[in-house]
């Protein structure tokens, strides 16, 4: 099982996509969303350097998640695969 985050495929969320790519996630368009996926057990997206507005950063999970949230702060989003 892999870990995936889905964000709406609109320009406002492109900084989130870039942060996910910087964290090693791959991208694929799925309908109106961008699927950000990794086969690693965990992923940490970092807001610093990505110039992501606070409202967009805090809305990053609204498209859906295959996995679980380890922590979500104003600077990092730490995700992990679901276990057992």
CATH code assigned at 30 = 3.90.56.10
User: Strand, helix or coil at 37?
Assistant: strand
The pairing of beta strand 65-66 with beta strand 3-8:
antiparallel
Q: How many domains does the chain have?
A: 1
> What residue numbers bound the domain in which 41 lies?
3-80
User: If we measure between CA atoms, which residue out of 66, 64, 60, 63 comes closest to residue 3?
Assistant: 66
pTM of full prediction above 0.95: no
Provide the residue-wise pLDDT of the chain in tens; the chain has 84 residues. Answer: 789 999 999 999 999 999 999 999 999 999 999 999 999 999 999 998 778 999 999 999 999 999 999 999 999 999 999 886
User: Strand, helix or coil at 54?
Assistant: helix
């Amino acid at each position: 099982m892999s870990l995936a985050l889905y964000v709406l495929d609109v320009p406002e969320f492109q900084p989130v996509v870039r942060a996910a790519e910087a964290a090693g996630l791959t991208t694929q368009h799925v309908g109106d969303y961008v699927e950000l996926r990794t086969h690693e057990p965990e992923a940490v997206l970092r807001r610093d350097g990505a110039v992501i507005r606070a409202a967009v950063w805090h809305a990053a999970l609204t498209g859906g998640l295959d996995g679980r949230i380890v922590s979500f702060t104003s600077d990092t989003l730490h995700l992990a695969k679901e276990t057992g």
